């Protein structure tokens, strides 16, 4: 919600305005009140409101001077003038100072609501531009200019301490914090957001977060970091890994960055599992999977370990596997299994079932290769915006993933992943040329769940960033 500061030398006016407006309806709340301009400036520094309602004629520092000083402090603060009919000339002058508008006494609810809607629209646009700038800063080299711009963005949100808490949420939706919390948040994709939050300690941060977690949020990874853009992406990835602990523990919760001294235990168990699978000692491999499910050993595992465990076991029976067949994405794994325990049960069943011939599914279906492939390609073109993997397609069309991978390479001369990426990038180019959608929204629209992954893949395939491609395409089409 956006914060409002009310300024008037008459207490009755302040009380009337505070109580007579349905602030929550417009996603605002009254954060403070001031009886004069000097007090208002102090509260602006302390509260950092988004909107200021101020009278024009007040004792001491005038309302016009207050407006000028507010704009010098923060040009993004939306200012609405409270005025009587006799002060209309002052109101006209204030408009030249960049105020949003004015409301006359006595107050009209509809008029104020309209002004608040306009203010909210302006603030949303400012927030949107700030998020876009943050994404660019994180994706670009960490120059001195980038560091200065990063500090400015955090400072605009009231984040000034050298150490900040970094939070990464996994799942749909955005986090909300207590009203007085200073933070900046951006979406990194369809189901990941990052927040920089200023809090004195861990307890204060926990108290500022909603409990229980909002619907759609699966897990939150938290650690403390320096207020520097350099190395920030690595910190974000560490937080992301911690947030994915929700999958291992099957619990929607906060996951704080802990010591990694237990990583040796996880690495040892995984090495033993790999040796057992390579030697076809499937009974021992099953015992090791059971051992990994013990609470003490679960604490040692991360989502990266989990991906490795899956790939080791799932493909133990395949005589021909390729890089295209493996799962590298956390999201792909979660799409297949809702929790670590269910994944482990499935892997143990796979060990018990023994090797699966690559062509078994094809023989059972009795369909021709070309008929299969035609339907698969049609499905991909119709659903590329959604979550698609070689595993999910295999399940839908009753084909083994290895067979499907070979089919693409033999018939189309590209891997499954390359074909899907080309389909998505073609539409990305179209959207970049023909719309003004922010790059993050373009990525989400075509099925990429992560902003930075999209920009890396786009640049790898076109030798241009999405931003560069859009700028060069203005006024003309693609080759």
CA distances from 451 to 189, 206, 458, 466 (A): 5, 28, 11, 11
List beta partners, residue 52: 5, 79
Alpha carbon 60 to chain centroid, angstroms: 46
Residue 471 has pLDDT above 50, yes or no: yes
Range 153-167 burial, b when 16+ CB lie within 10 A, else e: bbeebbbeeeebbbb
Residue 260 has pLDDT above 60, yes or no: no
**Helix segments in 337-389, DSSP class H:** 340-353, 360-365, 369-383
Return d(Cα 9, Cα 26) in angstroms, integer: 25
pLDDT band (50, 70, 90) for residue 341: very high
Query: pLDDT for 183-239, tens place per residue?
Result: 999 988 778 999 999 999 999 999 999 888 999 999 999 999 999 999 999 999 999
The pLDDT value given to residue 128: 84
Q: What percent of the chain has pLDDT over 70?
A: 90
The pLDDT value given to residue 106: 78
Return d(Cα 104, Cα 106) in angstroms, integer: 6
Query: pLDDT for 126-176, tens place per residue?
Result: 888 888 889 888 888 889 999 999 999 998 888 999 999 999 999 988 898
Share the mean pLDDT of the chain: 85
DSSP 460: H
The Cβ of residue 51 has, within 10 Å, a number of other Cβ atoms equal to: 25
Q: Are 33 and 14 within 8 A, CB to CB?
A: yes
Burial of 60 (0-12, 13-18, 19+ CB in 10 A): exposed
Q: Are 252 and 314 within 8 A, CB to CB?
A: no
Alpha carbon 18 to chain centroid, angstroms: 34
Query: pLDDT for 268-303, tens place per residue?
Result: 999 999 999 888 898 999 999 999 999 999 999 999
Judged by average pLDDT, the poorest of 148-152, 329-333, 345-349 is: 329-333
The pLDDT of 116-129, averaged and rounded, is 90
Query: pLDDT for 384-409, tens place per residue?
Result: 988 888 888 888 887 777 778 888 88
Burial of 78 (0-12, 13-18, 19+ CB in 10 A): buried
Residue 93 or residue 454, greater confidence: 454
The Cβ of residue 298 has, within 10 Å, a number of other Cβ atoms equal to: 16
Residue 319 backbone dihedrals phi, psi, to 5 degrees: -85, -20
Q: Are 182 and 48 within 8 A, CB to CB?
A: yes
The pLDDT value given to residue 184: 92
Domains in the chain (CATH in brackets) are: 2-125 (3.40.50.2300), 140-256 (no CATH), 263-353 (no CATH), 360-413 (no CATH), 419-473 (1.10.10.60)
Residue 438 backbone dihedrals phi, psi, to 5 degrees: -60, 150
pLDDT band (50, 70, 90) for residue 91: low
Q: Of all helices (H) and strands (E), which one includes residue 171?
A: strand 163-171
CA distances from 224 to 104, 136, 161 (A): 48, 22, 12
Query: pLDDT for 360-384, tens place per residue?
Result: 333 333 334 566 788 899 999 999 9
The pLDDT value given to residue 246: 96
pTM of the entire structure?
A: 0.74
Query: pLDDT for 1-45, tens place per residue?
Result: 899 999 999 999 899 899 989 998 888 999 999 999 999 999 998
List beta partners, residue 170: 192, 219
pLDDT band (50, 70, 90) for residue 104: confident
Return d(Cα 293, Cα 265) in angstroms, integer: 13
The pLDDT value given to residue 38: 93
Q: Of all helices (H) and strands (E), which one includes residue 317?
A: none
Q: How is residue 337 written in tokens? A: 């299994």
Q: How is residue 275 written in tokens? A: 């040796």
The pLDDT value given to residue 356: 41
């Amino acid at each position: 919600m956006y914060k409002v500061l009310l300024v008037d030398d008459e207490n009755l006016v302040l009380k009337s305005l505070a109580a007579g407006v349905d602030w929550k309806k417009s996603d605002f709340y009254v954060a403070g009140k001031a009886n004069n301009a000097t007090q208002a400036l102090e509260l602006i520094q302390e509260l950092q409101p988004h909107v200021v309602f101020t009278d024009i004629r007040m004792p001491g520092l005038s309302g016009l001077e207050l407006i000028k000083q507010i704009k010098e402090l923060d040009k993004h603060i939306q200012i609405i003038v409270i005025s009587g009919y006799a002060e209309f000339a002052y109101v006209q002058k204030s408009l030249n100072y960049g105020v949003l508008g004015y409301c006359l006494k006595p107050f009209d609810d509809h008029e104020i609501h309209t002004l608040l809607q306009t203010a909210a629209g302006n603030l949303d646009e400012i927030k949107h531009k700030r998020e876009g700038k943050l994404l660019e800063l994180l994706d670009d080299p960490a120059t001195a200019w980038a560091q200065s711009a990063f500090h400015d963005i955090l400072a605009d949100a009231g984040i000034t301490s050298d150490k900040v808490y970094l939070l990464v949420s996994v799942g749909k939706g955005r986090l909300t914090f207590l009203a007085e919390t200073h933070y900046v948040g951006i979406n990194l994709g369809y189901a990941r957001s990052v927040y920089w939050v200023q809090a004195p300690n861990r307890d204060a941060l926990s108290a500022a977060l909603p409990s229980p977690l909002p619907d759609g949020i699966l897990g939150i990874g938290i650690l403390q970091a320096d207020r520097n853009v350099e190395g920030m992406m690595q910190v974000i990835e560490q937080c992301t890994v911690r947030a994915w602990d929700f999958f291992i523990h099957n619990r929607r919760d906060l996951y704080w960055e802990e010591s990694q001294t237990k990583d040796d235990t996880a690495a040892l168990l995984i090495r033993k599992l790999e040796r057992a699978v390579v030697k076809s000692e499937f009974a021992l491999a099953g015992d090791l999977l059971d051992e990994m499910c013990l609470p003490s050993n679960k604490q040692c595992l991360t989502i990266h370990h989990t991906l490795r465990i899956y790939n080791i076991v799932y493909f133990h029976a395949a005589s021909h596997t390729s890089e295209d067949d493996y799962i590298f994405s956390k999201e792909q794994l979660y799409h297949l299994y809702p929790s670590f325990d269910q994944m482990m049960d499935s892997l143990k069943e796979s060990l018990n079932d023994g090797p699966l011939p690559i062509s078994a599914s094809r023989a059972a279906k009795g369909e021709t290769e070309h008929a299969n492939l035609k339907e698969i390609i049609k499905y991909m073109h119709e659903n590329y915006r959604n979550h698609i993997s070689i595993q999910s397609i295999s399940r839908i069309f009753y084909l083994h993933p290895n067979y499907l991978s070979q089919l693409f390479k033999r018939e189309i001369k590209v891997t499954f992943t390359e074909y899907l990426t080309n389909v998505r990038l073609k539409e990305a180019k179209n959207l970049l040329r023909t719309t003004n959608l922010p790059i993050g929204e373009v990525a989400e629209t075509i099925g990429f769940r992560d902003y930075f992954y999209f920009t890396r893949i786009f640049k790898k395939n076109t030798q241009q960033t999405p931003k560069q491609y859009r700028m060069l395409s203005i006024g003309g089409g693609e080759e």
